[in-house]
Amino acid sequence: MLFILPILFIACTSWVDAQNFASLQVERHPSFSWDSCTSTGGCSSQNGSLVLDQNWRWVHRAKDYTNCFVDGRWEAKNYQNESICPDDDSCTSNCVIDGTDYRNMGVWPKNDSLTLKYSNRMDYTYSKSNRLYMMDAENQFFELFELLNKEITFEIDVSKMPCGLSANLNFVSMPPDGGSSQFETNQAGAAFGTGYCDASCPRNLRFVNGVANVANWTQIPDDNFGDQSFGLRGSCCPQVDIFNGNSISTSFGLHPCDSQYQHECIGDSCGGIDSPISAVDKSSCDMDGCTFNPYRMGSTDFYGRGAKGVDTSKPFKVVTQFVTRDGSNWSPLISINRLYIQNGTKIKNPVSKVDGILGDSITRDFCTNQKAVFGDSNKFDKFGGLSKITEVLMRGMVMVIGLEDDRRDGMLWLDGKLGEGKGAARGGCPSPAVPIMELIENEGRLASMTISKIRIGLIGSTT
């Protein structure tokens, strides 16, 4: 997250009872292009931009530069004993989020290439991890992508990504305007990265639905960034993971919810990443989802540094296809297919080697069998499975690109061993999570990932 020393300017804002923004640091969305492809017309470059999530921004009092959030906690009072954030409504009225210097936050875009640094130290800032959204050419709304009967291809370099970290390209069902039209308290909107949600129902968001998340804020010891601390309210929505990975393991998958829209949750009923594990069944979303991790599915030598399939010491391309029943953009989703390209060679996703789980792609049968064989709660089918994901994909989803750690499990769900029995091992990283976090403190200083050449189009048109 972010800590910023005071900057000697005066905030400019005209709203007093809403989540608003200031311009002490002018917000300039960095340009970032992607390609739209057709089977006959080739690929054409689309001009877009990136916006940083609100959680990585300076939150300060509207009338001056007094911090509202610092060292992982909300400031109830300032040094003059003036009240700032005693409760949700007061804090929403008193505080604003500000623009950001993207390079200070470890964000380095250039044309169609984006490098993200995990740990970034500058003269007045120290950032850790990041999360960004693709915006449209007008810089007013998040770009909505419709993926049915389409494929997405990109090149990625995770050679500098150690255990415990994940480079992500995902899609979530967050509102394209950040929720500003739905919630009158949200005046910052998409332009300042508001409105995030995912299937883990995160409660570490500083603002949910345009209101400060102050009530019951629980600060985790030694959490100076506030990414592990959390409040009473969370934000949930369906999630499609195109790529979660580091140099050790990778995964892609689907996470439906009981609603296809963003929705707020309260306390343990969130059941997600910031709630007790015992409350997971209370969630309105399938946080675990139906996923394909080659290591977990028995191909332990397919992906990794010097691996037989995808060698992560070098860049490679990822191709993900959303296959529909009749090959149209309005037909039900029946399969998510995956292949890789490295050194000009196409590499098929490995077939599952786990007894009782067949296939090399995500299908209805694969998901049902995976839940049964691994003994996982089948919330995937409970929340509608591929049918619910079809509905969300038809509406369009927001692209999320980020580099993160895991505040609950140390990324063991991706690259280590989580639990016991079949399916527990997802990669060769050490367990439990505590040594992982110590490793991040050492190796994370140099960790980075680069993603480039994002192409979206009809199946077969992007490679």
Confidence band for 226, pLDDT divided at 50, 70 and 90: low
The verdict on residue 341 lying in a domain is yes
Of the candidates 194, 229, 241, 210, the residue with the CA atom closest to the CA atom of residue 53: 194
- What digits encode the pLDDT tens for the residues 373-404? 999 999 999 999 999 999 999 999 999 999 99
pLDDT in tens, 4-19: 333 333 333 334 455 7
Residue 225 pLDDT:
66
Q: How many independent structural domains does the chain possess?
A: 1
Q: Is residue 73 part of a domain?
A: no
- Residue 25 in any domain: the answer is no
Domain assignment of residue 111, yes or no: yes
Residue 95 covered by a domain: no
Please tell me the distance from the alpha carbon of residue 114 to that of residue 242, in angstroms, as a whole number: 17
pLDDT digits (tens, 9 = 90+) for 446-455: 899 999 999 9
C-beta separation of 112 from 450 below 8 A: no
114 three-class SS? strand
Cβ atoms of 180 and 197 closer than 8 Å = no
| Neighbour tally for 103: CB within 10 Å | 13
Please determine, for residue 277, whether its predicted confidence score (pLDDT) is greater than 50.
yes
Calpha distance 391→297 (Å, rounded):
28
On whether residue 17 sits in a domain, the answer given is no
Closest CA relative to residue 310, chosen from 429, 172, 157: 157
Question: Is this model's pTM higher than 0.85 or not?
Answer: yes
Q: How many CB atoms lie within 10 A of CB 286?
A: 31
Q: Which residue segment(s) compose the domain that 314 sits in?
A: 31-52+102-458
446 or 369: which carries more pLDDT confidence?
369
Can you point out the beta strands (E) in 53-194?
59-61, 69-70, 73-74, 95-98, 107-110, 113-117, 119-121, 126-128, 130-135, 144-145, 150-157, 166-172
Residue 209 counted as domain residue: yes
User: Is 18 inside a domain boundary?
Assistant: no
CATH of the domain at 266: 2.70.100.10
For residues 393 and 149, what is the distance between their CA atoms, to the nearest angstrom?
A: 10
